[in-house]
Chains A and B, each alone.
Chain A
Amino acid sequence: MIDEWIDGALGTTKPDLVLKNCTIVDVHTLSTYEGDIAIMDEHIVGIGNYSGKKEIDVKGAYVSPGFIDAHIHLESVMVEPSEFVRIASPHGTTTIIADPHEITNVLGLEGIRYMLDATKGLPIYTYIMIPSCVPATPMETSGAELEAYMIEYLIEQKRIIGLAEVMNYPAVINANQSILEKIGAVEQHPIDGHAPDLRGKLLSAYASVGIRSDHECSNPEEAMEKIRKGMFVMIREGSAARNLVDLISVVTPKNHEFFMFATDDTHPHDLLKRGHIDHLVRLAISNGMDPLIALKIAGHNAARYFGIERIGAVAPGYIADLVVIENLNNINVVMTFKRGRLVAKDGQLVEPIAKKEVKIRSSMNVRDFNMDKLKVVAKGERIRVIGVIPGQLITKSLVMNARIKDGYVVPDVERDILKIAVVERHRATGNVGVGFIHGMGIKEGAMATTIAHDSHNIICVGTSDEYMNKAITEVIRIGGGIVLCTDKNIMELPLPIAGLISNLKIEEVADRFNKIVETAHAIGSRLSDPFMTLSFMALPVIPELKITDKGLFDVTDFKFANLFI
């Protein structure tokens, strides 16, 4: 209450906690100064010379606002949110803005409820942006539809603060009614963008409907134009896409308030190895950014963009979300305070997170899968083949001679033409899309996963129908996950939560995943992360040739394509 805060600020009653001898990072004036920080319940009530009921002497270390990830798909960490928090909190993260796009495409409203429940009460405060593209496209079968009327309901709920990345930007600039309905449904709330390379009048059209951020900028001119047009730019540095170094030159003291940091996708091994937003701050500083600007981008600007009140500064009236940093060059976070409580110290949580069971239904609903569904009757000799480009999400649309055996088109390991299949798993349609892919490189076996953007059907690639059948059957049996079949054994990482998230510890997930990838390398794949590559082969918005449960899709022509020429 105000009267208690006034007393605490005046020092007439002792604040609950005082951080003594701080070097305060002030985001308002971009300067540092010395003082004690007085905290009552979750608020900073004063800066000055205080004594408190409890005192922590930080001995001159820097105290900066807690870090905010402005855009993350928590599903990409492949572990439950509490496991993510166990690692990210000691790295200084106090707030994340999560877009549960993946799980919502699988489980609909139940997916959003899962994210709300599973993040409740954690020492990282999670806000949710409502996925705007569920289903992602009409060319695939997803587990759910999130319509405008549902969005209108969701936006009223606590911790839900806006509409997530409007990635279907062609729909916006073509004034598609369904997307405009969704944008209208959130009214004055933040609406995130996702518009790679959109410039000029088309960008004006996109921004004019109220889309006020973007995390797809890859060059300085593009970022500058987006800011000029009233957007905030999220500088993204994740596991799948990395733009920080390319964008750093565009950030100046004049415009730094319009940038945020975001990871978008964070894989478990990257989180364990590099850290979270602190990694972005380090990378920015080592590439020449003023440390105070980097800390402000990490801890302040996103709160302003999202309209999150009283977060993002070390000043009276703000929530005490703080990081204690010993050195501005290597940003080693030694303490994290969340809402006035010390939650992490020296790389560890102070108190372990109580394990809680979040109930969620099975996401596997496959009808009559059998090996015959993988067969391709040869109706011609020349086939369209998805051409993998290492390290990229885009593919080439190749035309190659089919290997035909007994009237069927079969994989040709010699020429690295493998079979790829997408098995619908949400609505028991029985759909199986089958095609061929070049560039995966495995010589004997099959890989299958239920992580397949954005509808997350089962995607499988293999050197024979038998291997594929084995892998797919195993994925179904374990209720979703990642499976690698070789001539010797089956390796698996079960993802029982929506086929996206494991209930194991993050270290074990990273370990198992790394072993599976190593084995995939051992059987011939030369891609750095063949499962990530595979997971994007079903995304029918990224050129040129992709595959969904409904068949091969030519993204350039934006229509389904026949396998045979």
Chain B
Amino acid sequence: MKNILNILPYEWQIKETSSFCSVSDIRIKAGQPLILFKEGTEKHIEITPTLSQLSHIVQKASENSVYSYIDDIRQGFITLKGGHRMGISGKAVYEAESLTNIKNVCGINIRIARELKGVASEVFLKLISDGRIHNTVIISPPGGGKTTLLRDMARISGNTKNQRPVLIDSRYEIAAEHKGEISLDVGERTLTLSGYRKSDGFSHAIRTLSPTVILCDETGSEDSEYLNSAVNCGVSVIVTAHAASVAELSRRMDLSPFKNAVILDGKERKAQVTQLK
């Protein structure tokens, strides 16, 4: 939480320090009260952020170095130290048909990363047989706990004998790498490729890191090529995807490489393993 408080204006830190404890999301909109989400409830705080305060938060989150985070900003987020994701809303700047920047930031959503060790223990046992991890897709709507589960799977496989996991952490959220240091526990054998695009990450991992399993967050239909190439090389994959059900996901993504789907119920915090073929 200290990493998040550090980027907020000083007067907010003093006024509402206790309120920020154990929140899951902080929603900041210019001219509206600050909203904190905590275990399914929300709390309105008597703080009305201004546009300049939002700009200050973005500056602080990017360590006063926008150029250093511009690729992330183009995708609409900045990952904070500790793996927390700060989503930003504002006005898009396009150049030659591609999004180059976001200006006039008027809304921010900070998602607090949770490290829950052991949440994947039960599920992981169902995904492994004869020492081999089966290709698995973890499914849930946003905020359902996919990243938390994937991080714990990386940790468990990284602490399992004869496994050589490689984690592709494109958004620095899973291992929360910061200046070369891995902040969250992803297991002693897990090698992390931080900031890699998925295409480069898969290719790098397969060619040079001798993986038994590759773990990757937030895949979509555009990633089928890399997933297939990994599977066809004899490497297992565990990935996450946004969807409420297998049927919903199968409409936009090829699920043929996967043997299992783990469906997360965000409300009841339950994980259900389904065999796909």
Are A and B a genuine interacting pair, yes or no?
no
Residues of A whose CB lies within 8 Å of any CB of B are none
Residues of B whose CB lies within 8 Å of any CB of A are none
